[in-house]
Chain A
Amino acid sequence: MIRIERNPAPSAATLALSYVGACVMGFAISALLIAATGYDPAEAFGAIWQGAVGSQTAMIGSLVKATPLILTGLAAAIAFRARLWSIGQEGQVYAGAMAGWCAVLLVPDAPALLLIPLALIFGAAGGAGLGAVAAGLRTRYGVNEIISTVMLNYIIVYLLSWLLSGGAWGEVGATVSYQQSPPAPEAAQLPNFDDRGRLHLGFAIALAASLACAALIARTPLGFEIRALGGNGEALRRRGVDVGRLTLVVMALSGALAGLAGIGEVLGVTDRLRGDELYGLGYAGVVIGLIAGLRPIGVLVAGLFFGGLANGAVFMSVLSDAPAALAQAIQGVLLISILCGGVAARTRLRRTVAHVG
């Protein structure tokens, strides 16, 4: 007889095998899907590969797309590790973008060396502030953080929409535009690593944040408390750790990471404040955090993977005949495959022999 059991602590090899298997499975299902809709899988995958890592331009595009995903993925991973089910990354991305933009508006003529750090700090603080609000609602009034963060997402997204369309922050003048601010001053735009001005400082921040989060979780007292809060908050509380304060710190930290993703996009990619370019980054982070098994280094890998896939999708829709909707379907299939891989890694089959005597 074969039984299915939970395996709470799978080995690294088991994990790696499960995820590689899941990816192979996902690509196989995607290939069937592409073929079934009448397109050539080889051509489509070729285009995705081209777009993900096929050239320097493509790789840079992938890294640029991975940047916000890594940061919001880390934001989700840190909060979920503490079993704080914050879905507020979406709003925190917007809050970070808006707070960072405030810094730009505050001292628009400051030199880059002052303006950029200031904008980044404001951005992180904006996201952190929104996270702290949800933490406060939870510890003070017992409001479930899932509900509060989703509500705050709506509030903040519409706040930005109002600020941009109401005119306070919106672009004014002959072109009469909507839902976007004027361009950021040159000095506020994040420095770039490539000559075409695409790969921006935000990627370095995302990379550093991944390593810092990994160290935080694995080595520091705060990381220990985060894991303990996730494991059994009551035991932690009874051992003298102020769980309310800890919740605040975790939510603020998570929010700061998401906020950095927001201001990074504004000053590194769009060079102006626009809502639609930020849309969905936070929710994508939730998914990235989950498929990464809430491990910071896993988030880095998953973020790069899905960044490459997103850039590959653009190439596919331009270079092959397959529609971009198919690229989204492929992303979805891969996502589900990897999530299943995660479950498979934590499950094992046991053969049990029963002799009848």
Chain B
Amino acid sequence: MHFLTSLRCATIGVTAAAALAAGPALADDPTELSVAIILSAGIENGWDGSLIEAFERVAADEPHGLDISWRYSDPLWGDAAGEAMRLYAESGRFDIIWAHSTYSDQVARLKDEFPDILFVVVGSGNEGLGGNQYWVYKRVHEAGYLLGALAGHMTESNVLGAVGTFPADDVNDEINAFFAGARSVNPDVTGNTSFIESWYDPARAGEFTAAKVATGADIIFQLASNFQPCEEAEILCFGNFGDQNSFSPDTVLSSALALWDPDIRWIVDEWWAFKTEEEPLEGNTELRWFSMAEGGSDIAPFHGLADRVPQEVQAELDTLRASIMDGSFEVPLDVSQPES
């Protein structure tokens, strides 16, 4: 947590300097926004780590001149998460409680008791409660499609594997897109998917990945954060949600990035409107997600492995990405359970 404390000090310093430069804000408008974040797996995990990175970027940008600070919990689940949310709420120190996974059951028990707090739940498995609960959703299927196209070009065995967490709506979408992208450039590709049935279990992920390698897969879409088997088999793989190249620089060619910046900005805007324009908090009850064109996702750079990608493949990939960004190509959304 020392890391976080120093980060917060830095934020305060930068904000102070910026405030001086920009001149005084309106007298009654808030200048600080404090966020409590409930994590489900910890920042080493792509899903959680990418959120904190996005918070850092957005905070540095100071939307509405706000000094955004945050504090995140250790991995908490179920009743313990509810307990922690209550503690954060009762402390009166937080404006937003961002519960970064399936926590709408817990939020349902708190949201009416704390009407001035904006609650955020994230991803599938939640319930759109509306009111002061907002529901952030993340789809990185466009990035998955791009990675699939890349894999379709690069594979030699024409066998691809995917190791997922749960067969959830927002996991299925990117795996289906990955294989669709691969087949779009290489119709001979076959592949299969396994789910480790856990959000975070590197040991199980390792076993399942090794099994994929054993069936001949030479590129793995790794959604469960264990690259050890890929290293051992000396094959390429893709990470998920965060840029996971640093985990295994010789195997992680790229990652499907979840970029939470537009989501955070949306929530901050909603909160700002609630505080300054007395707009009521009217959380979404239907899914809301930001596309790649809107900055909600992307693929990570190749880092040290860039020379492994042939130039014509690189060019084709750039074209495909551009067509997604300008809307001329829409990646099909398929949330059915991938075949294993």
Binding site for B on A (CB under 8 A): 57, 61, 64-65, 161, 165, 171, 174-180, 183, 196-197, 269-272, 274, 276-277, 310-311, 314-315, 317-319, 321, 323-325
Contacts and interface: CB of A to CB of B under 8 A. Distances in A.
A168 to B, nearest CB: 14
B73 A318 contact: yes
Interface stretch (B55-63, B83-91, B308-316): B83-91
Contact of A165 (B73, B102, B124, B167): B167
B283 to A, nearest CB: 14
Interface stretch (B125-133, B144-152, B215-223): B125-133
B224 to A, nearest CB: 15
B168 A175 contact: no
A197 B73 contact: no
A176 B73 CA distance: 27
Contacts of A61: 83
A64 B79 CA distance: 9
B79 A270 contact: yes
A171 B124 CA distance: 11
B84 A176 contact: no
Given A161-B197, A176-B124, A177-B125, A314 B105 contact: no
A311 B83 contact: yes
A175 B126 contact: yes
Contacts of B75: 324
Contacts of B125: 171, 175, 177-180
B166 A324 contact: no
Interface of B: 1, 73-80, 83-84, 86-88, 90, 102, 105, 109, 124-128, 166-169, 197, 286-287, 335
B79 A269 contact: yes
A274 B101 CA distance: 15
Contacts of B128: 174-175
B168 A318 contact: no
Given A175-B128, A177-B102, A270-B105, A165 B166 contact: yes
B127 A175 contact: yes
B1 A323 contact: yes
A334 B76 CA distance: 21
Contact of B74 (A174, A272, A310, A324): A324
A176 B167 CA distance: 10
B221 to A, nearest CB: 19
B59 to A, nearest CB: 20
A314 B76 contact: yes
Given A161-B197, A317-B76, A178 B168 contact: yes
A176 B286 contact: no
A227 B309 CA distance: 71
A202 to B, nearest CB: 12
Contacts of A180: 102, 125
Nearest to A319: B87
Nearest to B90: A57
Contacts of A276: 77-78
Nearest to A313: B80
Contacts of A197: 109
Given A161-B197, A174-B286, A270-B78, A318 B105 contact: no
A178 B167 contact: yes
Contacts of B124: 175-178
Contacts of A314: 76, 80, 83-84, 87
A178 B73 CA distance: 24
Contact of A57 (B86, B126, B167): B86
Given A179-B125, A314-B87, 4 more contacts: A174-B286, A175-B124, A179-B197, A270-B79
A196 B108 CA distance: 12
Contacts of A321: 1
A274 B76 CA distance: 15
A317 B74 contact: yes
A272 B86 CA distance: 20
Given A271-B105, A318-B84, A318-B88, A176 B76 contact: no
Contacts of A277: 77-79
A319 B88 CA distance: 9
Contacts of A323: 1, 74
B78 A317 contact: no
A206 B14 CA distance: 55
Contacts of A65: 79
Nearest to A64: B79
Contacts of B90: 57
A323 B166 CA distance: 27
A347 to B, nearest CB: 37
Nearest to B199: A276
A164 to B, nearest CB: 10
B138 to A, nearest CB: 14
Nearest to B86: A57
18 contacts: A61-B83, A165-B197, A174-B286, A175-B127, A176-B124, A177-B102, A177-B125, A177-B126, A178-B168, A179-B197, A269-B78, A270-B78, A277-B78, A315-B83, A317-B84, A318-B73, A323-B74, A324-B76
